Amino acid sequence: MLIKAKTINGYKLHATDGEIGTVKDFFFDDRHWTIRYLVVDTGNWLESRQVLLSPYAIISLHKEEEYIEIDLTMQQIEESPPLKLGNPITVQFEEEYYKYFGWPMYYFGPYMWGYTPYIERDPEKWKEFTQDKRAWDPHLRSMEQVGRHDIEARDGGIGHVDDFVIDDEKWAIRYLIVATRNWWPGKKVLVSPLWIDRVSWNEYKVYVSLSRDTIKISPEYTEESLLTREYESDLYQHYKNKGYWESEKSDQDRFQH
């Protein structure tokens, strides 16, 4: 299911033995543009530290009831490696964190989730993964901070990041929702991370390999748009690109063989 990040923000988080807080932000990597952690507002509980949850902990997302069910106890979360408020997420912290929970590291291996192109939930399969060398160095970004970035087409600015569309199965960011401001007042467009040339984190700008005119005549996106596979196919065909689902299917076929 595709869902907007702002929709998930504020969802309650249900551990196996109680409620632990609400979602307040996300950290994603700038290689695969995949959510690596949900940031939890715990209220008065564990208020002196930053509480992070990997998608590995998620059992299901309940849109109507606005909560996320996680497969951890409150004690497991409380005794997990602490990260002080305001401190960056280091490689050392991540390795301690994943070792504590027993999950496979996402940056060991060539795929979105390390040794697999999806979140492998079978602990028996984890034993087959050798976790001894990083395949790439992660650089994690706060979605809240990136939400202030401007979007630059090949021939000029088109607006700013307004929201993100997340695939809640693989926890990949599928689209940036761009508010076009003065360029095309009142309109919003979708941009896939696959169309990004580069990001200038210091300038707060995202540069995409598209022209303003091409973006302007893309399939219309509104808040009421249903992000169906048909709509996505039309969008990718407009930009003369293969859909992300095709390349990920190739990864999955290669992984299985």
pLDDT per position as a tens digit, 217-245: 999 898 877 899 999 999 999 999 999 99
Geometric angle at alpha carbon 53, from 165 and 173, rounded to 5°: 20
**Whether residue 32 has pLDDT greater than 70:** yes
What pLDDT does residue 109 have? Answer: 87
Residues forming a β-bridge with 196 = 208
pLDDT per position as a tens digit, 130-163: 767 788 898 999 999 998 899 999 999 999 999 9
List the one residue out of 14, 26, 7 whose CA is nearest residue 69. Answer: 14
Span 2-140: which CATH code? 2.30.30.240
Q: Does domain 147-248 have CATH number 3.40.50.300?
A: no
Kindly list the domain boundaries of the chain, sorted by start residue: 2-140, 147-248
DSSP readout, 61-114? EETTTTEEEES--HHHHHTSPP-BTT----HHHHHHHHHHHTPPPTTSSSBTBB
pLDDT per position as a tens digit, 145-154: 998 899 999 9
Q: What is the mean pLDDT of the chain?
A: 93
Model pTM?
A: 0.94
